[in-house]
Amino acid sequence: MQAYIKAIEPVNVDWTKNVCLKIFFAGCDFKCPFCNTPHLLETREEFLIDLRDVKKEIDLNSGFAEAVIFTGGEPCLQRPQLIELAKQCREKKIKIGIETNGSKPEVLHSLLKENLLDFIALDIKTPFNEELFERLTKSRTFFITTNQVIQNLKATIELLIENKDKLEIEIRTTIIPSLLYRKEDILEIANIVNQLNARWVFQKFDNMAELASKNLQSINPPSLSFLEDIKEACIKQYPQLRIEIK
Ligand code: SF4
pLDDT along the chain (246 residues), means of 10: 96 89 97 92 95 96 92 97 98 96 98 98 96 92 94 98 95 94 96 96 87 86 95 98 96
Ligand 1 geometric centre to CA of 131 (Å): 18
Query: pTM of this prediction?
Result: 0.96
Q: In a mutational test of the pocket of ligand 1, which residue from 36, 37, 69 has the highest number of ligand atoms less than 8 Å from its CB?
A: 37
Q: Which residues pair with 95 in a beta bridge?
A: 67
Q: What is the pLDDT of residues 151-186, one digit of tens each?
A: 999 999 999 999 999 999 999 999 999 899 999 999
pLDDT recorded at residue 129: 93
Residue 128, domain CATH: 3.20.20.70
Ligand 1 geometric centre to CA of 48 (Å): 20
First to last CA, the chain: 38
The tally of domains found in the chain comes to 1
pLDDT recorded at residue 14: 86
Residue 230 belongs to what domain range? 2-245
In angstroms, the Cα distances linking 216 to 7, 33, 36, 213, 220 are 26, 7, 11, 6, 9
